[in-house]
Amino acid sequence: MAAIASGAIPPETIPLELGDIQGMALRAYRFPFGLHHFLKIGDAGVARAWLTRVAAQVTSVEAIDHDPERATNVCLSWQGMAALGMPRESLQSFPEAFRQGMAARAKAGKLGDNGDSAPDHWDNPLGSQDIHVLVSLSAASAEILAEADRDLREGLRGAGSPVIIHTEAAALLPGPDGELQPVEHFGYRDGISQPSIEGSGLPFIPGQGAVESDGSWRPLRAGEFVLGYPDEFNRVARTPSPAQLARNGTFLVLRKLHQHVARFRTFLLDRAADHPARERLAAKMMGRWRGGAPVAISPDRDDPALADDASRNNDFTYAGDRKGRACPLGAHIRRMNPRAGLTGPAADDVNRHRVLRQGLPYGTRLPSDTTADDGLPRGAIIILINADIANQFEFVQRVWMNDGNFALLSGEKDPLIGNNDGTGSFKIPHDGRIETIKAMRNFVSTRGGEYFFMPGIQALRHLP
C-alpha cells in the first residue's frame, strides 16, 4: 500500500489490502454460532510467540469471501499491549478513549451507561484490567465451533501461555420449528442494514452508504473503518506508531447487552389495545416492522417482500419525512443513522459517525406466551468496528442514542436501547396530532464490554 502522509488529500481511491485486513473489520459476519474468549497474558515472551502462531489462523477479508465454515479473529486491549511489553512510545500513541477503556469511559459519562447499565453492574471480569486479548471464533455449526475451540485451547497449552479467563457464547435463536432465525430477543429481524464501504470488494447497495445532499448514495470511505485510508473528509487520520502496527488495523468495540424481554412485552400490552396496535407501536419504536420492512417506506403495514429485497429495504433518506410522520424522529434506526433527516450543523457530518455492526444473541428465548420474567440472562453480544472510537461509537452512544434533545426532540432517548429511566417520552406524529408515549423504561442494560485494537494480520505477527 502506498504511504500517505497524515492529512494529505489522496488523488484517487487506494486499493484495500483485503488479504491483510481481518475479516471482521469489513464484513458483518452472519455465522450462526460464535464464541468470544477473553484472555489474560502472563509471560510476555510466550504470549508473543503464541500470537505469531495464531496469526496464521486469523481469517482475513479475502478468506471470508471464500465462504469458510469457520473464522478466527484476534485483537488486543490497551492493557494487553502493555502486558506484552510494547514500548511506551507506541502505547501512548493510541487514542485516549482506547487507552482508558470502556469502563473508565462509562464512569466518565462518555457513553450514557449509568443506573442499571453502570460498570458496577457489569458481569465480571468485563470492564476489568485483566482482559488482554479477545479471540472471536465464528462457525457455521455448533460442531465446527467446538472443533475451532478445541484447536484454540490446544494452542494455548504450555507454561506461561495466555489464559482464558472468561467466555461469551452466542448463537442465532431457534424458531418454533427449531430452525435458526436471524432475529433478536425482542422479535425483530436483525442484520438488515450495514454500511457499504469503498473498496471493500462487496457490491454497492443503495441506502447502505453515505447519502449526498442531492439524495444520491455512494459508498462510505474506507478510512472510517480501517486505519491508513482516506476518511469522509478525504483525510488520513493520525494513526498509532510505529506505522507497521497501525497498517490495516482498526478498533473493535464489544458490548454485552441484556434485553428485558418480559418488560418490553408488558410495555406493549399496556400501551396498545390489540395485537395490530402493539405491532405498530413496536414498528414505530424500531423504525422497522418486526419482519424487517422500514416504516419510512411502508408506514402503515409490514411488507415481507420489501423486507426481503436488499435493493429496496434501505433505500430511503428521511429527507421527505422531516416531521417524522412515516418514521418518528426518535425511532431507533433513525437515531442510529439519521441519513438526510437532520437539519443545521448536525447534518454536515452524519457520515462521520457510522459504525459497522454485527452481533448474535446469547441466552435462551423467553417463551412467546409469557410476560413473566424468568430471571435468565438473555440479550446480544454486539461487535462494532470503527477507526475512531470517540467520534464514532462513543458519539453514537452519547448523542444519537442517549441525548434527550436529539433532532430537537425534548426528553427523548432511544426508545429501544436508550438508558431510559421512566421519565422520558417517545413521540409518534399523526396527521394533525402527536401521540406521546410517556414513562419510557429501559429495555436494554449494559452488562459489560471493552475496547480492542484489531491489528492487520502481518502486524499481529510482528508486534513491536
pLDDT in tens, 171-185: 999 998 899 999 999
Other Cβ atoms within 10 Å of 227 Cβ, number? 28
Q: Is 106 a member of any domain? A: yes
* Within a domain: 312: yes
Task: Select from 8, 63, 454, 398 the least CA-distant residue to 245.
Answer: 454
pLDDT, tens digit, for every residue of 424-461? Answer: 999 999 888 999 999 999 999 999 999 999 999 999 99
- Within a domain: residue 392? no
Q: Quick one: 32 and 122 in the same domain?
A: yes
Residue 35 in domain: yes
Tell me, yes or no, whether 174 lies in a domain. Answer: yes
Q: Which residue has the higher pLDDT, 204 or 132?
A: 132
Q: Could you say which DSSP state residue 287 is in?
A: T
Residue 37 covered by a domain? yes
Full residue range of the structural domain in which residue 193 is found: 23-255+449-461
**244 shares a domain with 137:** yes
pLDDT bucket at 398, cuts 50 / 70 / 90: very high
Query: What is the distance between the alpha carbons of residues 92 and 70, in angstroms, rounded to a whole number?
Result: 35
Residues 171, 195 within the same domain: yes
pLDDT at 5: 39
In a domain, 56, yes or no: yes
Rg value, the chain, Cα: 22
Residue 86: predicted pLDDT: 97
Q: What is the mean pLDDT of residues 102-130?
A: 96
Q: Are residues 272 and 187 in the same domain?
A: no
Q: Are residues 290 and 417 in the same domain?
A: yes
pLDDT at 231 over 60: yes
Same domain, residue pair 249 and 275: no
CA separation for the pair 138, 448 (Å, rounded)? 20
Query: What's the domain count of the chain?
Result: 2
Of 8-12, 40-44, 178-182, 284-288, which gets the smallest average pLDDT? 8-12
9 lies in some domain: no
pLDDT at residue 13 in the model: 65
Question: Is 454 found in the same domain as 360?
Answer: no
230 plus 281 within the same structural domain? no
410/267 same-domain check: yes
Q: Are residues 98 and 217 in the same domain?
A: yes
Q: Is residue 42 packed enough to be buried (19+ CB in 10 Å), middle (13-18) or exposed (0-12)?
A: middle
Confidence of residue 156 (pLDDT cuts 50, 70, 90): very high
Q: What is the pLDDT of residues 256-308, one digit of tens each?
A: 999 999 999 999 999 999 999 999 999 999 999 999 999 999 999 999 999 99
- Check whether residue 430 and residue 457 sit in a common domain: no
pLDDT(77) > 50? yes
- What is the average pLDDT value for the chain, to the nearest integer? 94
Quote the pLDDT of residue 406: 86
pLDDT band at 11 (very low <50, low <70, confident <90, very high): very low
- Give yes or no: residues 174 and 315 share one domain: no
